[in-house]
Structures are given as structure tokens and as C-alpha cells.
Amino acid sequence: MIESQMKKRKNRVGVSWRMDETYIKVKGIWCYLYRAVDKCGNTVDFLLTRRRQRMSAQSFLIKAIKNNCRPTVINIDKSGSNTSAIRVYNKRSFSNIKIRQCKYLNNIVEQDHRFIKWRIQNGLGFKSFESARRTLSGIEVVHMLRKNQMLKPGISMFKSFCKLAA
């Protein structure tokens, strides 16, 4: 519920995105957290999936574009699933999203993963996929609040969270 309220009230993100995935262990099995940030470091979107394949990357891309604007450029690493997902999206929607594969331009999203990993490391781990998805959703919302991604600047993080919860 809080995640959907945050999506309604968050600032508009830029048109140059950095997209990457990271590993999260759920019940002893590695799952994949797809994340995207814009050029300024603002969180675009995130999605936890069980597999790392083209369909997972494609569903994340569709979700991110639906909740935000369509990017002009997406910087990715050498991941084949991300590349093929963007190419399939371009074909199906007749768009022209440029793919840039430069490992140094992707440092923003790699550094942004550190916050999520640090939060997860302090806990006891996830026992189910659904609890991991919900917990990661809350962590991402707090991270967006900390980065001042709400529409009204100058409000404290506590007041912003209270407005989302009300």
C-alpha cells in the first residue's frame, strides 16, 4: 500500500537510466532484484524475481516504463538478458530506446545496491519470497524518501512517511 502511494507522489525521474540486477538469498535460493536509477541517482523502479532471464528483465522494464516515463537511453552492463529485453521492448512498442553498455556509467546503480545489501545483511534472512518482496518494497520506499524523491521538498522524512501511511 505504501509503495503504491509512493509511486503516485514521487518526483518525475530523468530520461537516462542505469539498469542492473543484484542477488538476494531467499530461503537458501538466490533470487534477483532488478533495479533502475536515473542519471541523478533517483530510484526509478525495482522488481524481485526468482530467475534471471529475458522475461524477468522484460517484465521489470515494462513495469518501470509504465510507472514512469519512457527513457531515451538505458545504461547496462554486459548482461544478455537486459540487452534482449530492451531490444524486444523496442520492437514491440515501436520505440527507440538506446542501449549503452559501459561499465563505468553503471556505477551509480552499483553504489545504490550497497544500501539495500546493507539493510538485508543486518537481518536474519528471508524465509519466503513474498516476505522478501514486501520487505524490499519497504526498504526501497524508505530509500526513496531518504533521497528526497517526494513531490513536496522541505518536509522531514518522518512527515513524508506519515503522509504515505495515512
For the chain, what are the domain ranges? 2-165
pLDDT in tens, 80-108: 888 999 999 999 999 999 999 877 777 77
Strand 43-49 to 73-76 pairing: unpaired
Which grid cell sits at 11? 518526483
pLDDT of residue 12: 79
Query: Are the C-beta atoms of residues 56 and 49 closer than 8 Å to each other?
Result: yes
The answer to pTM > 0.85 is: no
Fold entry, domain 2-165: Nucleotidyltransferase; domain 5 (3.30.420)
